[in-house]
Amino acid sequence: AQKAMPGTSLEGIRPTYIYKVVLLGSTSVGKSSLAYRYVKNDFKESLPTVGCSFFTQTLNLEVATLKFEIWDTAGQEKYHSVCHLYYRGAHAALLVYDIANKETLNRAKLWLRDLEKEFLPDEIVIALVGNKVDLAAEREVTTEEGEEFARTKGLLFMETSAKSNHQVNDIFMAVAQELLQREQGKTSAPSPRGRSTVDLRESRARTGCC
Amino acid sequence: LTWIFLPQGYLPANMERRKLTLQRKREEYFGFIQQYYDSRNEEHHQDTYRQIHIDIPRTNPLIPLFQQPLVQEIFERILFIWAIRHPASGYVQGINDLVTPFFVVFLSEYVEEDVENFDVANLSQDVLRSIEADSFWCMSKLLDGIQDNYTFAQPGIQKKVKALEELVSRIDEQVHNHFRKYEVEYLQFAFRWMNNLLMRELPLRCTIRLWDTYQSEPEGFSHFHLYVCAAFLIKWRKEILDEEDFQGLLMLLQNLPTIHWGNEEIGLLLAEAYRLKYMFADAPNHYRR
């Protein structure tokens, strides 16, 4: 019945959530391309990312509006000390590897370890993303291998191609759904721990009603 | 063009000695190539070479000049030799961009038409070798002054971003407070300004014009750049103050509309940077380097 009254006050109580999402992974696995595909629905050769770049995307879902702040990080190790500053306070992380380069999956596993040091499991939604499925002929990591690793670690998992636009929207949508689900879990049973983390920007990540 | 004489200390002023030094420097560079370049596939250098090899085709992807294999090989050699001779920093993404202006300037001496579309196969081996060696030495000279930008944890950049913040807080409190209000941190946009010396924010022709001034300015790249960054930021104050949320501000700051910029805009930017520099040069307590 609520849905049947567009434009009324009920619209007003549909909450808006702002979520910080980081893209992590080795150099040249397609982090920037995934962000670009998701936000602009296009593909282009991108320059190596320096530090981090920032994208936004708004999702209007039935139950809420989600604003993603996407931080696309540089893959080179050198930048890790800097990227650390960016993923502080993240609500979700996409760990990206290249299915045609086995080493990049190992790197993604190391990134996961870093995240596990930084966050409690219920503080962050993590998705493992095997990108570049358009390079099927050069595949070095089987779907099962990625899937299996994600399952044992409790991560969302999807294989994508930023180039051929395969499942890029889907993985962000899966992350959105998971974030919303956790949000709803929180409101129905407020956790005693609350969101007492020290990140200054945390406040912006709470419900911001219009 | 006189760029090759400008980087301070690269060449002596005396004409005759200058020619000899140039000759010797070029030979020295190709000596490095002979001695070290084969080691790129050895285990201890493999990662460095791999990263460079991945980045080169992604350097200036929209300019045809840089898609030519001959040019890409030149860049790979320059960067690899520089990286292994500077193990404290090694190769860091962004350094690949820094070769570009030198290469283009030296190449322009031999090219009448549009450099960005020039086919380098038209040049003799000797000419290409000179361009390569001169680009290497000029880039080395540039990096000598800013090496702490690229060592572990990039302290030079952190320091400069901090300095920029402090400077802006003094010259334009309104912009500074606007950032604070919307929780924008300087590192979020200015990291790249320092790491790539504004190259990612400006068209190539503007970078060349800007660097022309940096080279004739003592500590141009390491210090004067700071004032240029401050002037560059303030140039957009109206657009900045018009944005009223974090997302809008970040999107603006990462995509500043300079695509049509030319010499005139850079001239104004430099004039403003000089004004700031002199304003603060006599007031060391206002702003500590």
For residue A190, pLDDT beyond 80: no
Nearest alpha carbon to residue B178 among B231, B253, B96, B69:
B253
Contact B247 A56 (CB under 8 A): yes
Residues of B in contact with A82 (CB under 8 A): 153-154, 157, 187, 191
What are the structural domain ranges in chain A? Answer: 16-183
pLDDT at A203: 40
CA A43 to CA B274: how far, in whole Å? Answer: 41
Closest approach of B98 to chain A, Cα-based (Å):
13
Q: Among all residues of chain A, which has the CA nearest to that of B88? A: A78
> How many Cβ atoms from other residues are within 10 Å of residue B30's Cβ?
17
* Residue B92 Cα, gap to closest chain A Cα (Å): 7
Q: Do B192 and A51 touch (CB under 8 A)?
A: yes
Please give the interface size between A and B, counted as residue pairs whose CB atoms are below 8 Å apart: 71
The pLDDT assigned to A2 comes to: 28
Give the residue from B223, B52, B78 showing the smallest Cα distance to B146: B223
pLDDT at B48: 92
Inter-helix orientation angle B69-85/B43-55, to 10°: 140
Work out the minimum CA distance from B278 to partner chain A, whole angstroms: 31
Taking residues A126-131, report their average pLDDT: 98
For chain B positions 6-65, those within 8 Å of chain A (CB to CB) are 51, 54-55, 57-59, 61
Structural domains of chain B, with CATH:
1-145 (no CATH), 155-282 (1.10.472.80)
Kind of pairing, strands A92-98 and A125-131? parallel
What pLDDT, on the 0 to 100 scale, is given for residue B2?
56
Of A27, A91, A66, which is closest to residue B54 (Cα–Cα)? A27
pLDDT in tens, B219-245: 899 999 999 999 999 999 999 999 999
pLDDT for residue A9:
43
Expressed in percent and rounded to 5, the helix, strand and coil fractions of chain B are: 70, 0, 30
Chain B contact set for A65 (CB, 8 A): none
For residue A210, pLDDT beyond 80: no
Which residues 93-112 of A have a C-beta within 8 angstroms of B?
none
Interface contact B183-A204, CB threshold 8 A: yes
Reported as a single tens digit per residue, the pLDDT across B67-82 is 999 999 999 999 999 9
Nearest CB to B191 within list A28, A76, A82: A82
Which residue in A19, A21, A18 sits closest to A115, CA to CA?
Answer: A21
Do B92 and A78 lie within an 8 Å CB cutoff? yes
Starting at the earlier edge strand, list the strands of the sheet with A65-73.
A52-60, A65-73, A16-25, A92-98, A125-131, A156-159
What pLDDT score does B223 carry?
92
A16-183: in CATH 3.40.640.10: no
| Mutate: best of A22, A32, A40, A47, partner B, most B CBs <10 A | A47
Per the CB < 8 A criterion, the answer to whether A74 and A48 are in contact is yes
| Distance between B2 CA and the closest CA of chain A, angstroms | 30
H helices then E strands: how many in chain A? Answer: 6, 6
Residue A197: its pLDDT value, please? 34
B61: nearest CB among A45, A76, A86: A45
Treating both helix axes as pointing N-terminal to C-terminal, what angle do B204-216 and B263-281 enclose, rounded to 10 degrees?
30
Q: Three-state SS string across B124-157, please?
A: CHHHHHHHHHHHHHHHHHHHHCCHHHCCCCCHHH
- Is A49 in contact with B93 (Cβ distance < 8 A)? yes
- Residue A30, phi then psi, degrees to nearest 5: 110, 25
Confidence grade of residue B136 (pLDDT, cut at 50, 70, 90): very high
Please tell me whether residue B233 adopts helix, strand or coil conformation.
helix
- What is residue A208's predicted lDDT score, i.e. its pLDDT? 36
> What's the pLDDT at A77?
75
Report CB contact under 8 Å: B247, A45.
no
Check if A143 contacts B (Cβ < 8 Å).
no
**pLDDT over threshold 70, residue A131:** yes
Task: Give the nearest chain B residue to A47 (CA atoms).
Answer: B58
Nearest CA in chain B to A81: B153
Task: Kindly determine whether residue A50 and residue B191, on different chains, have CB atoms separated by under 8 Å.
Answer: yes
pLDDT tier, A51 (very low <50, low <70, confident <90, very high otherwise): confident
Identify residue B170 by its one-letter amino acid code.
Answer: R
Q: What is the mean pLDDT of residues A29-54?
A: 92
Highest mean pLDDT among A53-57, A109-113, B233-237: B233-237
Q: Give residue A168's pLDDT band: very low, low, confident or very high (50, 70, 90).
A: very high
Average pLDDT over chain B, rounded to an integer: 91
SS3 B28: helix
Other beta carbons within 10 Å of B109: 13
Q: How far apart are CA B230 and CA B166, in angstroms?
A: 10
ipTM given for this complex: 0.82
* CB within 8 Å: B154 and A82: yes
Q: How far is A144 from chain B (nearest CA, A)?
A: 28
